[in-house]
Structure 1
Amino acid sequence: MLKGLLLVLFVVMACAKAEDWPDPEWQVAPVTLNWQAVDNYAFPARTPARNGIRTDALLIIRDGRILHERYVAPTTASTPHLTWSVSKSVLATLLGVALGEGRFHLHDPVARFYPAMQAHPNVQMVDLLHWASGLEWQEDYEYAPLKSSVVAMLYTRGRHDMAAYAAAHGTGVAPGQRFHYSSGDSNVLAAALRGMLDAGRYADYPWQALFTPLGIDSAVWERDAAGTFIGSSYLYLSARDLARIGLLMQREGQWAGRQLLPASWVAFARTPFQQAEAVPGEANPGGHWWLNRPLPGAAAPWPDAPPDTYAALGHWGQALYVVPSRKLVIVRYADDRDGRFSHNELLKQVLAALPGEGS
């Protein structure tokens, strides 16, 4: 019996040791692959007109080791790059840690934590995480700035207290009934997080709960004048540090032997929200992440990528892709302005450059 237990313990320890972790730095895989087609797609010659595909950083990690990494000046491996709406998925990851600590439940009313939502008593945390609060909202940017709720929230009349600005909007539909992408929903989540914490803990919580345990030291997360993290848009991370979030998700919330994030939260993040309409080429919403899972009656958004692929996506081409079946984490930072970049094409090229499973 004792020998059997020792054998099991040996196998468990050997498996744990076999996993590579960035502790403190990422290791580089001892393989040489041909990345020419990937680089040709991601890094074409730049033009002064700022059009076309404009990648600032590309980092490809497989099984916890760097396979390929390239940057365009002034971005470097240590540059905290603006992630735009990738911030939303990192916020969701932080909330997953809070859920694991027992600070809230998915079906709690948001008003329990954020009194400004008392006018919307039926909106639950899960509704915000699905971008389905039902609040009236216009998420246009450059294309309709005068009518844009998000532009007003970030830069004009809502900028001093962004969550309160979002919460003051009227109800369009019942909560949970329809996906309607809203940076306002994300900033209300960031305000609700404050209500879950003891006084004085909010400012340090992202670091104490998530960034420091992962070894992230480049994070800059802006707050509005009310002191609320701008969870929708204004987190800055180096590509290597954002990849740590991806590895945490790819490994079901585990980090170096610790279950930092509940595995059930990872499953929630990558479960499609059914109250959404499929848009060809556009990923489908999960729990504040974006999924390659098709909605009923529709094709997969990224047909050349495995169906379990999911991502955190941001304005102007920011992306963190996670492909669990291939043990892949990919970070792309960019300055795209004209919509030519294709998530599917990049993923297709990366997958084509990789040897098959078991190599």
Structure 2
Amino acid sequence: MKKLSVFNTYQKPGESEVKYWHFSLGLKMTCLLGLCLFLYSCAEAQKPTAAELYFPPNESVEWEQVSLQDLDWDETKLEELLAWLPSQGTRAFMILKDGKIVVEEYWGEKLTGLGEMDQDAFWYWASAGKTLTAVLLGIAEEHKLLKRKDRTQDYLGKGWTSLSEEQEREIRLEHHLSMTTGLNDAVADPDDTSAEALTFLAEPGSRWAYHNAPYTLLEKVLEEASGETFQEFFRASVGNKIGMKGFWQQTGNNNVFYSDARSMARFGLLLHADGNWNGDQIWSNKFFQEMRETSQDLNPSYGYLTWLNGKSSFMIPQSQRLFPGMLIPSAPADMYQAMGKNGQFLMVVPSEGLVIVRMGGAGDNALVPFLLIRDIWDRLAAVIE
């Protein structure tokens, strides 16, 4: 059993519910939230512009680095963090500062088991790929291929669920993006995208639930809207433009993205630069600002398929409970992140100019292991302070 650093209780590996919150903890977290928001507002004015960021050249292994001495980071604390990470099943860990590499480390075997992890080894993104999907939908909207307010029926046809005609008509693309379709996630296989597995539970927009099947169907929506395969649309709109390696692959009922750690870091840098890759403005519409804001009134810490820090409360997968405080208390309030099973993390911190990548395994089976990302930040915060 593992003692939770911010909870006065214990959690067995795989538990998805957090219990026994104390009032004093909630008060402390509220004060911490206020302080972080103040610091964020001060730092936001110093956020580097895209023109001030470094961008690694496409189709090249060249990538400039910056030293710890230049950053005045705590080298001893960093060594402790890097010694701890492989004990948690970490395979790849990267930190970018204003686009330049500060840390790039690999441990253990490749996903294939054939050789040791390195900068060319591919790993799965799991649900961290949801944020990449949100970006593709946003680009499609900017190109006027679809609108997030559109009915899902417009792309999947009538009868894509087991709902009545009237109920189904109310589900729109924005509900898929915000995890509020109202479809029942307590089914035998919540990854099953067949109409039989998609049943009514609540009115769209009235219930937040981390449900993979409605998310996965966005692939078919995008293909119908664009006339291209999901793979083709990704490569043409993002991958080829920023030198990002990777591919989407059907894994069970899920469509999973695989790439090397550097490609995940490139995508994070593109997010940090607000869609501008070394002068090439890949996106610029309002969708992408709203993607990093609360998308509904139920879970403040969730945008469009993207997790948000710095909010007053949060929900977690497989639970309907609203927990007080920030998702990751020791991280900057303005951080937003893509998070996937077994600890696939892409973290973007605009106020600090940071992009952080973590790939690997995790000790529990949580769909989004937020306790692991908290553990990482408990150590990382001491490095950069």
- TM-score for the superposition, normalised by structure 2: 0.72
**Candidates 217, 226, 232, aligned match of 1:188:** 217
Query: Does the residue aligned with 2:84 lie in a helix, a strand or coil?
Result: coil
Count of residues in Structure 1 that have an aligned counterpart in Structure 2? 305
Q: Take 1:58 and 1:36, find their aligned partners in 2: how far apart are those partners?
A: 17
Contact 2:205 2:296 (C-alpha < 8 Å) held by counterparts: no
Q: What letter is aligned with 2:330? A: D
Contact 2:183 2:198 (C-alpha < 8 Å) held by counterparts: yes
Partner of 2:238: 210
1:87-121 deviation per Cα after TM superposition (whole angstroms, max 9, x unaligned): 11111111111111111112111111111537511
Partner of 2:19: none
Partner of 1:287: 304
Q: Take 1:26 and 1:108, find their aligned partners in 2: how far apart are those partners?
A: 41
**Candidates 53, 64, 67, aligned match of 1:19:** 53
Q: Take 1:190 and 1:124, find their aligned partners in 2: how far apart are those partners?
A: 15
Q: Report the alpha carbon displacement of residue 242 of structure 1 after superposing the two structures with TM.
A: 0.5
Contact 1:103 1:196 (C-alpha < 8 Å) held by counterparts: yes
- Using a 3 Å threshold, how does the CA distance of structure 1 residues 245 and 167 change in structure 2: closer, same or farther? farther
Contact 1:80 1:220 (C-alpha < 8 Å) held by counterparts: no
Q: Take 1:310 and 1:257, find their aligned partners in 2: how far apart are those partners?
A: 23
Partner of 2:247: 220
Q: Report the alpha carbon displacement of residue 130 of structure 1 after superposing the two structures with TM.
A: 0.4
- Using a 3 Å threshold, how does the CA distance of structure 1 residues 81 and 30 change in structure 2: closer, same or farther? same
- Using a 3 Å threshold, how does the CA distance of structure 1 residues 99 and 39 change in structure 2: closer, same or farther? farther
Q: Take 1:45 and 1:89, find their aligned partners in 2: how far apart are those partners?
A: 24
Contact 1:44 1:54 (C-alpha < 8 Å) held by counterparts: no
Structure 1 residue 337 corresponds to structure 2 residue 363: yes
Q: Report the alpha carbon displacement of residue 288 of structure 1 after superposing the two structures with TM.
A: 0.4
Partner of 2:148: 106
Q: What letter is aligned with 2:84? A: P
Q: Take 1:263 and 1:354, find their aligned partners in 2: how far apart are those partners?
A: 33
Contact 1:309 1:321 (C-alpha < 8 Å) held by counterparts: yes
Q: Report the alpha carbon displacement of residue 39 of structure 1 after superposing the two structures with TM.
A: 4.6
Contact 1:302 1:344 (C-alpha < 8 Å) held by counterparts: yes
Structure 1 segment 1-359 matched on structure 2, within 5 A: 18-24=52-58, 25-32=62-69, 33-41=73-81, 43-44=83-84, 53-74=88-109, 75-115=117-157, 116-117=159-160, 119=163, 120-138=168-186, 148-150=188-190, 153=191, 158=192, 163=193, 165=194, 168-198=197-227, 200-217=228-245, 219-223=246-250, 230-231=254-255, 234-277=256-299, 284-295=301-312, 298-338=324-364, 342-354=372-384
1:57-76 deviation per Cα after TM superposition (whole angstroms, max 9, x unaligned): 11000101001111103221
Query: Does the residue aligned with 1:195 lie in a helix, a strand or coil?
Result: helix
Q: Take 2:370 and 2:203, find their aligned partners in 1: how far apart are those partners?
A: 36
Contact 1:274 1:295 (C-alpha < 8 Å) held by counterparts: no
Contact 1:134 1:175 (C-alpha < 8 Å) held by counterparts: yes
Contact 1:108 1:124 (C-alpha < 8 Å) held by counterparts: yes
Q: What letter is aligned with 2:237? A: A
Contact 2:179 2:209 (C-alpha < 8 Å) held by counterparts: yes
Contact 1:28 1:66 (C-alpha < 8 Å) held by counterparts: yes
Contact 1:167 1:188 (C-alpha < 8 Å) held by counterparts: no
Q: Any unmatched runs of 5+ in structure 1?
A: 1-14, 47-51, 139-146, 279-283
Q: Report the alpha carbon displacement of residue 35 of structure 1 after superposing the two structures with TM.
A: 4.3
Contact 1:42 1:55 (C-alpha < 8 Å) held by counterparts: no
Contact 1:80 1:238 (C-alpha < 8 Å) held by counterparts: yes
Query: Does the residue aligned with 1:98 lie in a helix, a strand or coil?
Result: helix
Query: Does the residue aligned with 2:355 lie in a helix, a strand or coil?
Result: strand
> C-alpha root-mean-square deviation of aligned residues, in Å?
2.6
Q: Take 1:45 and 1:343, find their aligned partners in 2: how far apart are those partners?
A: 11
Q: Any unmatched runs of 5+ in structure 2?
A: 1-48, 110-116, 314-322
Contact 2:50 2:277 (C-alpha < 8 Å) held by counterparts: no
Query: Does the residue aligned with 1:149 lie in a helix, a strand or coil?
Result: coil
- Using a 3 Å threshold, how does the CA distance of structure 1 residues 192 and 238 change in structure 2: closer, same or farther? same
Q: Report the alpha carbon displacement of residue 249 of structure 1 after superposing the two structures with TM.
A: 1.0
Q: Take 1:58 and 1:241, find their aligned partners in 2: how far apart are those partners?
A: 12
- Using a 3 Å threshold, how does the CA distance of structure 1 residues 71 and 100 change in structure 2: closer, same or farther? same
Q: What letter is aligned with 1:88? A: K
- TM-score for the superposition, normalised by structure 1: 0.77
1:177-221 deviation per Cα after TM superposition (whole angstroms, max 9, x unaligned): 1110011121111111111012x554411111111111112x021
- Using a 3 Å threshold, how does the CA distance of structure 1 residues 113 and 43 change in structure 2: closer, same or farther? farther
Q: Report the alpha carbon displacement of residue 36 of structure 1 after superposing the two structures with TM.
A: 4.0
